[in-house]
């Protein structure tokens, strides 16, 4: 197997490390005070993440005929790795928006910079300083994503044909984040709203557009792109539904997150929307109340989390979400066959689909 295929995450890390070093060098010289901000972004990007988006993009390229032994392969690695910088912007800004304290087991960027302020006994509000730094560091990630993509070294026609995917991806993730915040604010607890967020934030941004981007870089024709978009739409939503189930039912020792944390944070998922709707339809007022009261209750006990689990099982919401995951995974695999991708991409995407929708963490 080609070593790019075999060890994709390390190759992604390599080109990211390289880019971050080259991008940071001139501004560190011009303005050393900005160094800690550049460090924070580098540490964030290199410090974790499953490299999911670059992986889908890479297999989109390979599936459309991209050759890992070609001259372009290194440029493609850089182009797909730049998706991690978009993701860094999304997460750093998301943490500001949600006032989250920790991410990947470390303090979030705004919390870390607030701590610098406190330690330095600086003037004004530490919280405001931390937020300002995180807004600017997220902006830097987004600007650098574009730099890394545009300067990846691929020929201009390849880059130009990937622009529609690149353009759609960034607008769609922002629309998804806005929709998410808006849905929480309006208290829209419908299954339809939850699915719309899933389609934009997870399916489009995490799977469809990366696949689209990769395939476009290889000069794929529209029918292939369409089949990949269908595959990605189904897999992306299935992935999110699995995530929702794990957020309530996951084993903390495997997921690394406290049991029921999604409930405490008030995340509006399809699982909860179905739970509420089914309880209502079945006239089970007790279950409806257990679920409704739990969402967003930051002091929810483990026993109460257990009650919510039971209610979600009893009204049939869990079974329905599992059924949809099955159905969408099957649909996705059918689209994948229709796409008639070059191997080993077809097999690797099928494996990714399987892992994403059956995972336990």
- Where does this chain bind a copy of itself (CB under 8 A)? 23, 26-27, 30-31, 33-34, 37, 89, 93, 96-97, 99, 117, 120, 122-124, 128-129, 131-133, 135-136, 138-140, 142-144, 146-147, 150-151, 156, 160, 163, 167-168, 170-172, 174-179, 181-182, 184-187, 196, 200
Q: How far is the CB of 33 from a copy of itself (least distance, A)?
A: 5
Distances (CA, A) of 104 to 59, 109, 213, 249: 26, 11, 27, 20
Strand partners, 106: 103
Question: Closer CB to a copy of itself, residue 51 or residue 201?
Answer: 201
As a three-state string, the secondary structure of 41-108 is HHHHHHCCCCCHHHHHHHHHHHHCCCCCCCCCHHHHHHHHHCHHHHHHHHHHHHHHHHCCCEECCEEC
Q: Toward a copy of itself, which CB reaches closer, 1 or 156?
A: 156
Structure tokens at 178: 């806005």
Task: Return the number of the residue (265 or 307) whose C-beta is nearest a copy of itself.
Answer: 265
Q: Could you tell me the smallest distance in angstroms from the CB atom of residue 43 to a copy of itself?
A: 16
Instruction: Tell me whether residue 119 or residue 253 sits nearer to a copy of itself (CB atom).
Output: 119
CB of 82 to a copy of itself, least distance (A): 12
Question: Sign of the C-alpha dihedral, residues 19, 25, 31, 36?
Answer: positive
- Shortest Cβ distance from residue 167 to a copy of itself (Å)? 5
Task: Please report how close the Cβ of residue 237 comes to a copy of itself at its closest, in angstroms.
Answer: 15
Q: Which is nearer to a copy of itself, 11 or 198 (CB)?
A: 198
Tell me the DSSP string of 191-233: HHHHHHHIIIIIIIIIIIHHHHHHHHHTT--HHHHHHHHHHHH
Give the closest residue to 145 by CA, choosing from 100, 88, 192.
88
Q: Which is nearer to a copy of itself, 23 or 79 (CB)?
A: 23
Contact 49, 87 (CB under 8 A): yes
CB-nearer residue toward a copy of itself: 29 or 69? 29
Q: Yes or no: say if 90 and 172 are a contact pair by the CB < 8 Å rule.
A: no
Cα dihedral 108, 111, 116, 118, rounded to 10, equals -160
Q: How far is the CB of 72 from a copy of itself (least distance, A)?
A: 16
Please report where in the chains the tokens 């944070």 appear, as a residue. 265
What is the smallest separation between the CB atom of 211 and a copy of itself, expressed in angstroms?
Answer: 18
Can you state the angle between helices 317-339 and 345-358, rounded to 10 degrees? 180
């Amino acid at each position: 197997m080609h070593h790019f295929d075999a060890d994709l995450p390390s190759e992604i890390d390599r080109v990211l490390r390289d880019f971050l070093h080259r991008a940071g060098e001139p501004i560190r010289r011009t303005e050393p005070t900005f160094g800690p901000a550049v460090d924070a972004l580098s540490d964030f990007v290199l410090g974790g993440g499953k490299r999911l988006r670059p992986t889908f993009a890479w297999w989109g390229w390979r599936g459309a005929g991209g050759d890992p032994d070609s001259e372009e392969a290194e440029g493609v690695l850089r182009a797909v790795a730049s998706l991690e910088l978009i993701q860094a912007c999304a997460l750093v800004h998301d943490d500001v928006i949600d006032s989250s304290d920790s991410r990947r087991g470390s303090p979030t960027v705004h919390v870390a910079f607030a701590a610098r302020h406190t330690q330095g006994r600086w003037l004004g509000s530490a919280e405001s300083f931390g937020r300002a730094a995180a807004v600017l560091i997220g902006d830097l990630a987004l600007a650098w994503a574009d730099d890394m993509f545009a300067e990846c070294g691929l020929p201009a026609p390849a880059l130009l044909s990937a622009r529609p995917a690149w353009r759609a991806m960034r607008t769609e993730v922002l629309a998804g984040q806005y929709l998410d915040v808006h849905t929480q604010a309006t208290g829209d607890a419908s299954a339809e709203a939850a699915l719309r967020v899933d389609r934009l934030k997870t399916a489009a941004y995490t799977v469809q557009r990366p696949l689209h981007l990769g395939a476009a870089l290889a000069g794929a024709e529209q029918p292939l792109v369409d089949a990949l978009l269908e595959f990605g739409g189904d897999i992306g939503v299935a992935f999110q539904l699995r995530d929702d189930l794990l957020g309530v039912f996951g084993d903390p020792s495997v997921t690394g997150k406290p049991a029921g944390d999604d409930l405490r944070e008030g995340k509006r998922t399809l699982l909860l929307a179905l739970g509420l709707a089914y309880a209502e339809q079945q006239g089970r007022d007790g279950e409806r109340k257990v679920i409704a009261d739990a969402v967003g209750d930051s002091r929810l006990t483990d026993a109460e989390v257990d009650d919510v689990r039971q209610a979600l099982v009893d009204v049939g919401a869990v079974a329905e979400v599992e059924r949809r995951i099955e159905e969408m995974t099957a649909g996705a695999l059918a689209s994948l066959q229709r796409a008639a991708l070059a191997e080993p991409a077809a097999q690797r995407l099928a494996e990714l689909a399987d892992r994403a929708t059956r995972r336990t963490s």
